[in-house]
Amino acid sequence: MARLIDYLLLIPGRLMVTIRAVLFWALVYSYCGIYACIELLKLLLSIGRRPGKTFQRIPRENPPACLNDPSLGTHCYVRIKDSGLRFHYVAAGERGKPLMLLLHGFPEFWYSWRHQLREFKSEYRVVALDLRGYGETDAPFHQENYKLDCLITDIKDILESLGYSKCVLIGHDWGGMIAWLVAICYPEMVTKLIVVNFPHPSVFTEYVLQHPSQLIKSGYYFFFQMPWFPEFMFTVNDFKTLKKLFTSHATGIGRKGCRLTAEDIEAYLYVFSKPGALTGPINHYRNIFSCLPLQHHEVTMPTLLLWGERDAFMEVEMAEITRLYVKNHFRLTILSEASHWLQQDQPDIVNKLIWTFLKEEMMRKRE
């Protein structure tokens, strides 16, 4: 793959652009087809082994108590004037304190930041958002409404609607992707950037094309290009795939981590088992190949990148390369025993690292 890309760089002008585009989309749809065949095989095996349970779903009408835990904060809503969308968020800490805005990943929602809501409310107005299409936030029907430009603008508009002009921005996984892009496009709005288990977007797009191992780990990006089938596969065996993401040995939180309780798992199942609840989140991915690579790359504010080395979806080598794109103080911390779900897996360590970074930056400003 790397040699092919080097060869294409030697072809001049429009022909090179056309050839690269054709090969890129051929790769996308070919891998999409391969991944879909694998998932279809899994479905057929499940039907063969347990035909009764394959399509069985437990009704979940009432939210688990943990979603209304007052120690996590207050459930709030804000309607954005331009888009007309209503966003749900949970806020902790006094109004008027500096804003800490938390962006979750996939398949998560505001609750993935429960440990940080409790921790940082003493010094910050902490806001854990449900991204566009997730949870109680409005979910536009059309796929085009989930382009990266829309997702970036959402964060800017929410910041302004909350009465702030700047924030400490923290993102995990897909929320990390959005956090990087907000920091690049609206640097005046981000005082400090903290990203958990997601590299700079330019690093990701270049690395995945040159490393087949990462291409395989990112297979779900390609599978999600299909209509309806990815959503359906998540529902099989009462959302078994969703449960396994957080609990299995391969992708879940390890034995040394802070494992999700049965109630935590039920919180995720309650949110994503609602009719149509998976389409909005997956639509985020259905536009990504038309939005990357980026035209602007540089990040100009102090940046902390936290990484769980046992991440089943992102290779750790991308974390170090990210340093090249940050034109300010950059700190990288890799936790050897931690999984992809880092802020839930190792909350005490993550919170301590965030506090250290924030206080160091305050001391650096005073100097």
Query: Which amino acid would we find at residue 17?
Result: V
- Contacts for 68 with CB less than 8 Å, ≥ 6 apart: 75
- Contacts for 76 with CB less than 8 Å, ≥ 6 apart: 88, 89, 90, 91
DSSP code string of 198-258? ---HHHHHHHHHH-HHHHHHTHHHHHTTSSSHHHHHHHHHHHHHHHHHHHSTTTS--TTS-
Phi, psi of 203 (to 5 degrees): -65, -45
Tokens, residue 98: 């500096």
C-alpha 365/C-alpha 357 separation (Å) is 12
User: Which residue, chain included where needed, has tokens 């935590």?
Assistant: 264
- Contacts for 174 with CB less than 8 Å, ≥ 6 apart: 104, 105, 106, 131, 198, 284, 285
Q: Which residues are catalytic?
A: 173, 285, 340
